[in-house]
Structure 1
Amino acid sequence: MEKEITINFEVIANYDHLTDIEKTLFDKAKTVRAQAYAPYSNFWVGCAVLLENGEIITGSNQENAAYPSGLCAERTTIFWTSANFPGVKIKKLFVIGAPKEALTSTPIPPCGSCRQSILEYESKQKEGIEIYFASLDGEIYKTKSIRDLLPFSFDASYL
């Protein structure tokens, strides 16, 4: 028996179609991408999250010679956020990634490890996090929950 899985996401035509807060998140993710430490992969990623209290937190990927000891931008950002703003919900997460010298790119979604970590925080806060992944030049995809990108998710309900 075969079943189909539908992945729900919205394509936002370009940067000009974002709300003001989404533009701010895009700009901050793009800016913090330049602070990535990625000498091994040369793939620089920036992330910005909007908290329910209006705070915006940013982070970038941080690599290590003892591969894979580094962390992706999404996990760097949400782990720091949770440690410093415990109990404050994450409303939106914006991520932009591309090779260091790229001028254009394609939207890159969170990797599997990041998807699982984001799922943990969605489960903890009992509410979805809007996920935006964008190209450097403003092509943007949006989902209402990481579950849209992780349809067969594993969470604490299985334990």
Structure 2
Amino acid sequence: MKKEYLGLEYYIFDNLEELDKKDKELVKNAIDASTRAYAPYSKFHVGAAVRLSNDIIIQGNNQENAAYPSGLCAERVTLFYAHSRYPNEVIVTIAIYANNEDNTYKDIVTPCGACRQVMAEIQSAQKKPLRVILLSPTNSGIILPSIDVLLPFQFEL
């Protein structure tokens, strides 16, 4: 049996001032989107924003349902809308932000497995990396150069 090594590269930032202008704009859009999330059950508001290759920014947020599997995560709402509206544009970056209603949550939120797989599919189809910015309510976070960091062994047909 041969042993392999898998290394991960990502960038940590402590505040929004460390981000460039475009990334700062994108995370502010994700924060804004989170304020309109429909989360009456979890009280957990997630916002996502994507920047397309034409510099258009698309926002989305989580949409819960009493039948939990029927709701959708902010990432998929945003990615599906962006891809359906602009099918020929590359999705360059997605920013994801989450907070709870009483503002006690302080960490970044990483995408669920289904959202990771959707991001992987988009990245594979567009043949360009899909950057991921994960922002915490304290305005710190991480930047991943591609979805490969979150889902290194992707399902492909």
Q: Give TM-score, length-normalised by structure 1.
A: 0.93
Could you tell me which runs of 5 or more consecutive residues in structure 1 were left unpaired when the two chains were aligned: none
| Residue 131 of structure 2: aligned partner | 130
Letter in 2 for 1:87: N
| Residue 59 of structure 2: aligned partner | 58
Could you tell me which runs of 5 or more consecutive residues in structure 2 were left unpaired when the two chains were aligned: none
Quick one: structure 1 residues 10 and 46, their matched pair in 2 at CA, closer, same or farther if it must change by over 3 Å?
same
| Residue 31 of structure 2: aligned partner | 30
For 1:125 and 1:25, locate their aligned partners in 2 and report how far apart those are by CA, in whole Å.
20
Letter in 2 for 1:16: E
Other structure's SS at 2:51 match = strand
Aligned residues: 156
| Residue 144 of structure 2: aligned partner | 143
For 1:122 and 1:52, locate their aligned partners in 2 and report how far apart those are by CA, in whole Å.
13
User: Is residue 119–residue 155 contact of structure 1 (8 Å, CA) maintained in 2?
Assistant: no
- Give me the identity figure in percent: 38
Other structure's SS at 1:78 match = helix
| Residue 74 of structure 1: aligned partner | 75
| Residue 16 of structure 1: aligned partner | 17
Letter in 1 for 2:44: F
Q: Deviations over 1:18-72 (max 9, x none)?
A: 0111111111111110100011111110001000001000000001111111110
C-alpha deviation, 1:3, in angstroms: 4.0
For 1:88 and 1:149, locate their aligned partners in 2 and report how far apart those are by CA, in whole Å.
23
Letter in 1 for 2:15: N
The answer to whether structure 1 residue 39 and structure 2 residue 40 are counterparts is: yes
Q: Give TM-score, length-normalised by structure 2.
A: 0.94
| Residue 118 of structure 1: aligned partner | 119
Q: Deviations over 1:83-119 (max 9, x none)?
A: 1111110001000012122165111111111100001
User: Is residue 96–residue 135 contact of structure 1 (8 Å, CA) maintained in 2?
Assistant: yes
The answer to whether structure 1 residue 95 and structure 2 residue 96 are counterparts is: yes
